[in-house]
Structure 1
Amino acid sequence: MQLAVLDLAGTTMSDDGLVLAALRHGLRAARVRVDGPRYPALDRQARATMDRSTITVFGELLDGDMYRARRAHAAFVEYLSAAAADGRVHPVPGAGEALDALRDAGMVIALTCGFDPELRDRLVAALGFTGRVDVLLSPADVDGRGLPDPDLLHAAARRAGADTSRTAVAGDATAGIDAAVRAGAGLAVGVRGGAHGEPRLRAAGADAVIDSVADLPALLGLPSAAALL
């Protein structure tokens, strides 16, 4: 494999409810009662779609009212930015070492997410991933086309000078797996414990499902970073 394209929130960044808390903060800013009768349905919809472009998700949750969606999105960004500044953003255990092992094997590393570039870069810095990642991509980098469209993966391959057929994609949500299949990625890997469970990841076309992104080097037959020391 030449390239590893990894999801951010829930795959390399530990979520622990942080993104959903930010989403609720955003909805409150748009005057949606998160303790009201409508919220459970919104919560289910958000959990099903939160692997996509954040502004798109808010637009759908708010019935296409993009004025309120932009207000909600601004509050969402504010919440996660404060979490990064306060030290509440953490990597998935072993994620940093997995990035090191992949790079030591000569692979290019790309991180993708549905966040806007400024928030994405702030989170990556808070995670300590800046020097460990070669390519960072958000929907804004591909004319707003986020997952499950394959554009992010094609853009990552172009920037890395890699062939998509020699690309491994790993993520905790079905949209990433769907994008990998549509892009013709060599390997689509689901990660348990995030947005979607193993049955949905496999139904979307995952070639393999692992417990954590920390297990990706072993799946690819690579030694762990610790073994290389």
Structure 2
Amino acid sequence: MIQLAAFDIAGTTVDDHGAVYVALRRSVEEAGATVAADDLQRWMGTDKIEAITALLRLGGVEPEPTVVAERFDRFRALLAEAYSVEPPVALPGIPEAIDRLRAAGVKVALTTGFSDDVVEPLLAALGWEIGPEGQLDAVVTTSDVPAGRPSPYMIHLAMQRTGVADVRRVLAAGDTVVDLEAARNAGAIAVGVLTGQTPREALEAADHDAVLASVAEVPEYVGLGSAAPAVRA
């Protein structure tokens, strides 16, 4: 049995209606950069300042620090506007899956390519809190670590915050290739999910242990059900 499940947020546990993709693309395109779909997909799960820097460069715009800072502010404004029009919601079956895992003694943490100032209002909108009476055991953002995905630091910090010492008993799930890369770099079980905008083919081409339809399937996958399904490779 695993001791910790570390889940991504947007596209994995939370339906943000594609707002992050749109905000990230628009924030870069408004600076004159051309954003290729493959590049956007590749950088989606990473720290958003790193993503903006890379997408500007790839799109033909020099990522000067002032430009990056301006684009990040624009990204946050676009995201806040989108969330005010259509607030994020938990994906189907996710609250129930989290409850099942925690009831079985599995700690549940969220890790994300967002910074604190983006995550806090998002979680508040969902009504999700950290602690024994809340829905989560820990939340780790890019504000907490020296580098975001695909570095393993967020997963390792989630282990530290939840008191889990054995990385072999950690499952990390996300909807992007860099989620899988971060899981592998951390030494954790790497699970891709199809609730985001990354095609199955891209997830299956990456190093992984399983590709599931949703995090809602994780309890069964780890054996909290009538039978644990076979790894979907």
Q: TM-score range by the shorter chain?
A: 0.7 to 0.9
Q: CA deviation at 1:219?
A: 1.1
Query: What residue number does 1:31 align with?
Result: 31
Deviations 1:79-103 (A, max 9, x none): 2223334452111111111111111
Q: Which residue of 43, 48, 65 corresponds with 2:42?
A: 48
Q: Which residue of 215, 218, 226 corresponds with 2:217?
A: 215
Query: What residue number does 1:84 align with?
Result: 83
Contact 1:11–1:171 (CA under 8 A) maintained in structure 2: yes
Contact 1:99–1:109 (CA under 8 A) maintained in structure 2: yes
Q: CA deviation at 1:118?
A: 1.6
Q: Which residue of 199, 202, 209 corresponds with 2:201?
A: 199
Query: What residue number does 2:172 align with?
Result: 169
Instruction: Please state whether the residue corresponding to 2:171 is helix, strand or coil.
Output: strand
Q: Check 1:25–1:40 CA distance in 2 against 1; reply closer, same or farther (3 A cut).
A: closer
The 1-side partners of 2:126 and 2:215 are apart by 15
Which piece of structure 1 moves more, 7-16 or 200-209? 200-209
Greater percentage in helix: 1
The 1-side partners of 2:38 and 2:177 are apart by 15
The 1-side partners of 2:17 and 2:201 are apart by 21
Query: What residue number does 1:35 align with?
Result: none
1:72 aligns with 2:71: yes
Structure 2: tracts of 5 or more residues without a match: 58-62, 227-233
Contact 2:28–2:35 (CA under 8 A) maintained in structure 1: no
- Map residues 59-138 of structure 1 onto 2, 5 A cutoff: 59-63=53-57, 64-130=63-129, 131-138=134-141
Contact 1:84–1:126 (CA under 8 A) maintained in structure 2: no
1:8 aligns with 2:9: yes
Q: CA deviation at 1:66?
A: 2.4
1:139 aligns with 2:134: no
Q: CA deviation at 1:173?
A: 0.8
Instruction: Please state whether the residue corresponding to 2:154 is helix, strand or coil.
Output: helix
Query: What residue number does 1:227 align with?
Result: none
Contact 2:192–2:208 (CA under 8 A) maintained in structure 1: yes
The 1-side partners of 2:139 and 2:72 are apart by 20
Amino acid at match of 1:135: A
Structure 1: tracts of 5 or more residues without a match: 33-37, 225-229
Contact 1:12–1:92 (CA under 8 A) maintained in structure 2: yes
Q: TM-score with structure 1 length normalisation?
A: 0.86
Q: CA deviation at 1:148?
A: 0.4
Instruction: Please state whether the residue corresponding to 1:147 is helix, strand or coil.
Output: coil
1:190 aligns with 2:174: no
The 1-side partners of 2:172 and 2:21 are apart by 24
Contact 1:3–1:107 (CA under 8 A) maintained in structure 2: yes
